[in-house]
């Protein structure tokens, strides 16, 4: 596994400043007036020239949100958020672009710095690619709007729709209307309802029946503006027999204040369809004293609506001051399958409360959960999971494996699994372990010549190997680097 | 001389284990250290490798005239100190091949040498592993996870062969091995004997020394060396046992 080697090299190159995505791009932006009101919602909807039903949908969400309370059950602790002291919409001034050439060069530069190729030509003409390396279509979301989507034409020929949500509302309103909110209802939870009211952009994907999407689809989210929340909305539909693999990456500048990121992701698979959704989350985690960082309060849910369909979530969570997310699967179709593979790393004063829900409704539905939590520094890392089988879910099967690794003695790991079977034929297996990174293991590695940091990176990479293998290759390498970077300073 | 240990006193959790140990190992020499359980043999091995919680209260250990006691374990390793563990540690999820490569390249980088390219490294490991009866399949498995006793010890010798240390300390490498496994391991060690490399072979039994014939034998009791001699000393110990040294150390 040369990738492990890569990690070790990466560790060596790390500067004192661990978060290398913390720069700010200097561009002019257009913002909604500060604060949240019906006017804000109307402003956003008007900006996007949305159909009337969309505005009504948003307003209904907003009114609902006013009656809701922020959830407090998660094992996270943060100061009260002042929802009136934030901007809910921010867009780079140059907008409405016909081609990539019109994108503000500063923004292109930003994505270049982040290592995300937006220029299709470069990719197409590109240097000889190693065999098997796939091309990736990218949708880049900068603050509240999508600034560029690549490979649109090629995808169109295959019948795949991949575009910013705001465009989809103009070009395919019937599809959006049919599926939006059908997995995560407007009323679902405090943050999802807030998102429904003020979401600004995100990616929309529709893969028609029988089509295997010819390339990986990817969205890169970037929060640039200060005091601005990012509320993106992603909707992916795989029609009968379709397949798509989707990757999501996120970064933000280093700022002293906290920023809210409340996204909603909805996935729908029809009969025999499959969606593979991978996330490498690297929002700014705040500094060593816990100042600043992103509040990542995200609702992600997939609906295996059709028989024999499959949804697979893979996540590598290294960033954010607070993570609150539970990518879930509703296994509605008979013989459908849900998977959740997660690596959650916390260091410094980060707080992670993450896990999944596998809701077995159909017959012979199966699910698998592999969760690897790594806590270092003074962080807290909680796995929270729910596995249920409803009355009609005959022969539901779940296998859960939750492992926690502690580095140092000031961090915490917690596992909170809920298991509920209303059908006696259900078989749910749960395995869990918590271990401290063993001194003997580190000594063994160091006796062979590895530094304390190299040894830790190697041991941690071994610990998360099962999950890393689930990631598309390009992301696996990135994830591996991230793991070692986020553990920087955790040994000593 | 390569290694010089002078009047070494070591405590572990406030308990005195080494009690004024003095020992010299010449360059190219294979020195056997024998002694009863609890005489401090393994402590000596760990102290030389730099394990935590082994507190040196007096004395020194010099490698080529340079004290190593304040060096981090990885620095000592890079300077050529290798410990073949009595109980090799499992590293789940890390393939043996990856482990070997990470270790070797870490040492080479620290020494300012070029790293091995993948093909060169693969060839090096394949050749070396072949001699030790280590299969390709074993190299793909996670380090020591699910290995038999014999496989673990062979893996230690494989690492030693790849890392080419100047001073190898073999801590009870014979424990838990049947006679066939013992022969393979001993052959592997013998192949690594060289005028440039010194070895300390720690063992409780004379049996290992039939296969790895030492240049000198030191007997340890109660935390120090109480007798030194030629290889025939091992046979004498086998016949008479360790009881005779109990008084000498006191």
Domain parsing of chain A, residue ranges: 2-486
Instruction: Classify B80 in phi/psi space as left (phi over 0), alpha (psi -120 to 50) or beta.
Output: left
Phi, psi of A196 (to 5 degrees): -60, -35
Of the partner residues B51, B93, B104, the one whose CB lies closest to the CB of residue A465: B93
Contact assessment for residue A218 and residue A249, using Cβ atoms and an 8 Å cutoff: yes
pLDDT, one tens digit per residue, over A162-174 is 888 888 999 999 9
**Model confidence at A317: pLDDT above 80:** yes
- Average pLDDT of the residues in A128-132: 39
Cβ-nearest to B106 among A444, A449, A461:
A449
Percent of chain B with pLDDT over 70: 98
On the question of pLDDT at A20 being above 80, the answer is: no
- B103, A445: Cβ pair inside 8 Å? yes
pLDDT average, residue stretch A351-363: 94
Residue B111 CB neighbour total at 10 angstroms = 11
Nearest CA in chain B to A8: B102
Q: pTM, whole model, 2 decimals?
A: 0.79
Q: A90 has which bridge partners?
A: A31
What does the alpha-carbon distance between residue B220 and residue B37 come to, in Å, rounded to a whole number? Answer: 10
How many Cα neighbours within 13 Å face the side chain of A461?
Answer: 31
A452/B72 touch (CB, cutoff 8 Å), yes or no: yes
Q: Nearest-CA neighbor of B197 among B27, B73, B64?
A: B27
Mean pLDDT score of chain B, rounded to an integer?
Answer: 91
Which residue from B minimizes the CA distance to A463? B93
Q: Does domain B3-249 have CATH number 3.40.50.300?
A: yes
pLDDT the model gives residue A102: 58
In the structure, what pLDDT confidence band is assigned to residue B61 with cuts at 50, 70 and 90?
A: very high
Average pLDDT over all residues of chain A? 81
Give the orientation angle of helix A473-486 with respect to helix A2-13, to 10 degrees. Answer: 40
In total, chain A counts a number of residues equal to 492
In angstroms, the first-to-last Cα distance of chain A is: 26
Q: How far is A427 from chain B (nearest CA, A)?
A: 28
Handedness of CA B40, B30, B155, A5 (dihedral sign): positive
Inter-chain touch A8–B106, beta carbons under 8 Å:
yes
Average pLDDT over residues B227-236: 90
Residue A295 has pLDDT above 90, yes or no: no
What is the reported pLDDT for A490? 63
* pLDDT of A144 higher than 70: no
- Residues of A within 8 A of B93 (CB-CB) are 461-466
CA B140 to chain centre: 24
Is A268 in contact with A300 (CB distance < 8 Å)? no
Neighbours of B117 (CB within 10 A): 9
Q: Which of A120-129, A171-180, B146-155 has the lowest mean pLDDT?
A: A120-129
CB < 8 Å to A470, chain B: none
Percent of chain B whose pLDDT exceeds 90: 70
* Among the ranges given (A177-181, A236-240, A278-282), the one the predictor scored with the smallest mean pLDDT: A278-282
Q: Over 50: is that where the pLDDT of B30 sits?
A: yes
Is the pLDDT reported for residue A434 higher than 50? yes
The per-residue pLDDT for B177 is: 87
pLDDT band per the 50, 70, 90 thresholds, residue A321: confident
> How far does the CA of residue B89 sit from the closest CA of chain A (Å)?
6
Span of A185-189, A256-260, B198-202 with lowest mean pLDDT: A256-260
Closest Cα in chain A, distance from residue B159 (Å): 8
Residue B88 phi, psi (nearest 5): -60, 140
How many contacts (CB atoms, under 8 Å) link A and B?
96
Does the pLDDT value for residue A119 go beyond 50?
no
Which tokens go with A243?
A: 């397949």
- Strands in A3-72 per DSSP E: 29-31
* Chain A contact present for B77, CB below 8 A: yes
Of the candidates B68, B96, B70, the residue with the CA atom closest to the CA atom of residue B81: B68
B179 interfacial to chain A (CB closer than 8 Å): no
Q: Are A449 and B103 an interchain contact pair (Cβ–Cβ within 8 Å)?
A: yes
pLDDT confidence bin for A6, thresholds 50/70/90: very low
> Would you say residue A428 has pLDDT above 70?
yes
| Cross-chain Cβ contact A447/B50 below 8 Å | yes
Residues of A in contact with B142 (CB under 8 A): 462
Burial A86-124 (b: 16+ CB within 10 A, else e): bbbbbbbebeeeeeeeebbeebbebbeebebebbbeebe
pLDDT of A57 strictly over 90? yes
Average pLDDT estimate for A397-411: 89
Per-residue CA distances from A57 to A61, A65, A68, A165 (Å): 6, 12, 17, 15
What part of B 88-127 touches A (C-beta under 8 Å)? Answer: 88-95, 97-99, 101-107, 109-110, 118
- Residue A145 has a pLDDT of 59
Would you state the pLDDT for residue A108? 64
Residue B199: the pLDDT is 96
| pLDDT of amino acid A347 | 83
Instruction: Determine the distance in angstroms separating the CA of B20 from the nearest CA of chain A, rounded to an integer.
Output: 25
Mean pLDDT of B158-164: 95
Q: Which two tokens stand for residue A22?
A: 């913390």
Determine which of A11, A436, A445, A447 to mutate to test the interface with B (most B C-beta atoms within 10 Å): A447
- If you average pLDDT over residues A263-284, what whole number do you get? 91
> Exposed, middle or buried: residue A49 (CB in 10 Å: 0-12, 13-18, 19+)?
exposed
With a cut of 70, say whether residue B183 has pLDDT above it: yes
- Which pair of tokens denotes residue B160? 């030693």
User: Coil, helix or strand for A367?
Assistant: strand
What number is the average pLDDT over the span A150-163?
83
pLDDT grade for A232, boundaries at 50, 70 and 90: confident
- Which residue out of A439, A445, A448 would a mutagenesis test of the B interface target, given it has the greatest number of B Cβ atoms within 10 Å? A448
Residue A2 confidence (pLDDT)? 41
Given a cut of 50, whether residue B11 has pLDDT beyond it is yes
Please give the Cα distance from A115 to A273 (Å, whole number).
31
Interface contact B85-A449, CB threshold 8 A: no
Cβ contact (<8 Å) for A463 and B83?
Answer: no
Q: Is the pLDDT of residue A304 over 50?
A: yes
Q: Which of A249-253, B42-46, B124-128 is predicted most confidently? A: B42-46
The CA R_g of chain B, rounded to the nearest whole Å, is 18
Q: Shortest Cα distance from A467 to chain B (angstroms)?
A: 11
């Amino acid at each position: 596994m040369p990738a492990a080697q890569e990690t070790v090299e990466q560790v060596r190159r790390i500067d004192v400043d661990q978060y290398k995505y913390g720069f700010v791009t200097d561009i002019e932006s257009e913002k909604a007036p500060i604060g949240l009101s019906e006017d804000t919602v109307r402003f956003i909807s008007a900006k996007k020239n949305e159909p009337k039903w969309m505005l009504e949908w948003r307003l209904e969400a907003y009114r609902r949100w006013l009656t809701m309370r922020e959830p407090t059950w998660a094992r996270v602790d943060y100061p009260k958020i002042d929802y009136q002291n934030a901007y809910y919409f921010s867009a780079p001034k140059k907008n409405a672009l016909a081609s990539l050439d019109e994108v503000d060069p500063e923004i292109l530069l930003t994505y270049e710095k982040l290592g995300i190729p937006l220029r299709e030509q470069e990719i197409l003409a590109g240097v000889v690619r190693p065999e098997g390396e796939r091309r990736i279509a990218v949708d880049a979301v900068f603050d509240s709007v999508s600034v560029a989507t690549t490979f649109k034409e090629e995808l169109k020929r295959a019948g795949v729709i991949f575009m910013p949500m705001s465009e989809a509302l103009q070009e395919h309103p019937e599809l959006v209307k049919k599926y939006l909110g059908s997995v995560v209802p407007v009323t679902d939870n405090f943050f999802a309802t807030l998102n429904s009211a003020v979401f600004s952009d995100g990616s929309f994907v529709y893969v028609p029946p029988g089509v295997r999407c010819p390339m990986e689809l990817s969205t890169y989210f970037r929060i640039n503006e200060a005091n601005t929340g990012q509320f993106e909305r992603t909707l992916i539909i795989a029609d009968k027999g379709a397949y798509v693999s989707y990757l999501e990456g996120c970064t933000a500048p280093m700022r002293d204040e906290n920023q809210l990121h409340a996204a909603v992701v909805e996935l729908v698979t029809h009969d025999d369809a499959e969606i593979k959704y991978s996330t490498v989350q690297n929002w700014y985690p705040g500094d060593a004293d816990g100042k600043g960082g992103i509040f990542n309060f995200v609702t992600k849910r997939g609906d295996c609506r059709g028989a024999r369909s499959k949804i697979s979530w893979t996540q590598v969570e290294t960033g954010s001051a607070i993570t609150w997310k539970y990518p879930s699967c509703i296994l509605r179709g008979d013989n459908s399958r849900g998977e959740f593979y997660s690596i959650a790393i916390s260091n410094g004063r980060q707080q992670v409360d993450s896990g999944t829900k596998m809701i077995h409704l159909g017959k012979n539905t199966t699910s698998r959960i592999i969760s690897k939590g790594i806590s270092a520094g003074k962080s807290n890392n909680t796995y929270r999971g729910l596995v249920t089988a409803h009355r009609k879910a005959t022969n539901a099967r779940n296998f859960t494996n939750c492992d926690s690794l502690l580095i140092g003695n000031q961090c915490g790991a917690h596992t909170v699994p809920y298991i509920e079977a209303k059908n006696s034929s259900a078989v749910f297996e749960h395995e869990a372990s918590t271990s401290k990174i063993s001194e003997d293991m580190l000594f063994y590695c160091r006796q062979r010549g590895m530094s304390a940091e190299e040894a830790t990176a190697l041991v941690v990479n071994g610990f998360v190997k099962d999950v890393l293998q689930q990631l598309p290759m390009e992301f696996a390498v990135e994830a591996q680097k991230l793991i070692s970077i986020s553990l920087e300073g955790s040994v000593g | 001389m390569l290694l010089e240990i002078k009047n070494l006193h070591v405590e572990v959790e406030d308990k005195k284990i080494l009690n004024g140990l003095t020992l010299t190992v010449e360059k190219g020499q294979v020195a056997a250290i024998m002694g009863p359980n609890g005489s401090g043999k393994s402590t000596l091995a760990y102290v030389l490798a730099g394990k935590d919680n082994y507190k040196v209260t007096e004395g020194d250990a010099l490698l080529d005239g340079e004290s190593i006691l304040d060096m981090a374990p990885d620095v000592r390793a890079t300077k050529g100190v290798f410990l073949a563990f009595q109980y090799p540690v499992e590293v789940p999820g890390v393939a043996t091949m990856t482990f070997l490569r990470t270790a070797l390249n870490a040492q080479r980088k620290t020494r300012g040498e070029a790293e091995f390219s993948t093909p060169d490294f693969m060839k090096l490991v394949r050749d070396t592993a072949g001699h030790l009866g280590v299969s390709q399949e074993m190299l793909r498995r996670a380090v020591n996870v699910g290995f038999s006793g014999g496989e673990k010890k062979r893996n230690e010798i494989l690492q030693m062969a790849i890392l080419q240390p100047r001073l190898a300390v073999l801590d009870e490498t014979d424990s838990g091995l049947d006679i066939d496994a013992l022969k393979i391991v001993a052959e592997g060690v013998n192949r690594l004997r060289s005028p440039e490399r010194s070895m300390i072979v720690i063992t409780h039994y004379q049996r290992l020394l039939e296969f790895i014939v030492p240049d000198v034998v030191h007997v340890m009791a109660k935390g120090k060396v109480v007798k030194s001699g030629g290889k025939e000393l091992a046979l004498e110990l086998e016949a008479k046992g360790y009881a005779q040294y109990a008084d000498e150390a006191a």
